[in-house]
Amino acid sequence: MGRPARYPRNLHSAQPRRWWQRPVVRWVGSAVATPVLVAVLVWTIQERMAPPAVPEVVPRTPGPSSVQRPGSAVAVDLVKVQRLSESNSWAFSSAPGLSAGDLAAINAIPAHTEAHAQWFRRRGGVDIMETDIEIVARGNRDRPVRIMGMKADTECREPLSGAYFESPSAGAPERIVKIGLDLDEPEPRGKAEDESGNWSGDYFQQNTISLKPDEEIVFHVKAWTLEHHCRFSIVLEVLDRGVMTDQVINDGDKPFQVTAAIKSEPDDFGGTRTMFSRYDEVYIGGVANPYQSGWIEVDPSTSRPLAGQRPR
């Protein structure tokens, strides 16, 4: 009986090795992989031990279009009460009781000058019948704003009757103004002046004024009353980004004011003259003074100069 056949010791010994199974490749792979694994391990440990990262905050600088200028949409750079009429008449709420020295002081100041007008205003003198106001307004936003209207906020009562200074116009023409306010109306709104000098309508019904940033506009406002003593503020109606706001303008920290003369006596021209007898004191000057010597005090009931007032 013969020997049984032997199986081969390794059934796969006859098959060729793949490239990654070769010893040299295995050594190179280990040499490369080991540093990489170490680096990954170190990075992982550092990340876990490090404090959480704080995001950097970079302040955002707003562009010019997003900056809101402080103050009102329309800045008022100038408000000036002027005497544009050639009339130099004034009224006071109470009698000032001027001495001869006071009259000499005012008569030494040329009539129809700013210094002359300021002498009266500092002592409480109020314009007769009309007052002229210059307003310089400027756009105060980074975008255009629009002035849609002008009106007067008024408080009116009986005309002043303390003292009256009459020095009427000698006939010189007035300067042209742009906006008129009739303070005897229940709700005065800015009127337009036509070529004949008449005031009518609402100026802003046909016109609006757009102001670009820092663009200026000059208003010459004439406000008048024939019946009352009125204190009033000028109100601009301003449209800013679709919102209407009222911007109030005063004479510094107080309202403007103007008074009517007390007129009830007929004159020689079919009109009426000032009724001197209704005032506590009366002074006449200019063309109203037949002596042409500046201001003198007269008797309210007779219109004659008081004793010592007639010039020599």
Q: 101 versus 9: which is more confidently predicted? A: 101
Spatial separation of the C-alpha atoms in residues 307 and 90, rounded to whole Å: 23
* pLDDT > 90 in the chain, percent: 54
Q: 233 versus 293: which is more confidently predicted? A: 233
Spatial separation of the C-alpha atoms in residues 200 and 246, rounded to whole Å: 23
Q: In DSSP terms, which residues pair with 299 in a beta bridge?
A: none
Range name among 56-60, 146-150, 221-225 with the lowest pLDDT average: 56-60
- pLDDT at site 118: 93
Average pLDDT over residues 56-82: 71
Backbone angles phi, psi at 257, to 5 degrees: -155, 155
Q: 17 versus 198: which is more confidently predicted? A: 198
| pLDDT level of residue 45 (50, 70, 90 thresholds) | low
Average pLDDT over residues 90-104: 92
Q: What is the pLDDT of residues 155-185, one digit of tens each?
A: 999 999 999 999 887 654 443 348 999 999 9
CA distances from 191 to 81, 157, 241 (A): 19, 22, 26
- pLDDT at site 62: 46
| pLDDT level of residue 7 (50, 70, 90 thresholds) | very low
Domain ranges of the chain: 21-49, 74-298
Spatial separation of the C-alpha atoms in residues 120 and 127, rounded to whole Å: 9
- pLDDT at site 112: 83
Q: 23 versus 210: which is more confidently predicted? A: 210
- pLDDT at site 49: 60
Q: What is the pLDDT of residues 241-279, one digit of tens each?
A: 999 999 999 999 999 999 999 987 777 777 778 999 999
- pLDDT at site 54: 47
Spatial separation of the C-alpha atoms in residues 149 and 153, rounded to whole Å: 13
- pLDDT at site 35: 60
**pTM, entire model:** 0.72
**Mean pLDDT of all residues belonging to the chain:** 81
Q: 138-155: string of b/e by CB count within 10 Å (b at 16+)?
A: bbbbeeebbbebbbbebe
* pLDDT > 70 in the chain, percent: 73
| pLDDT level of residue 107 (50, 70, 90 thresholds) | very high
| pLDDT level of residue 63 (50, 70, 90 thresholds) | very low
Cα Rg, the chain, nearest whole Å? 45
Q: 77 versus 111: which is more confidently predicted? A: 77
- pLDDT at site 81: 94
- pLDDT at site 175: 37
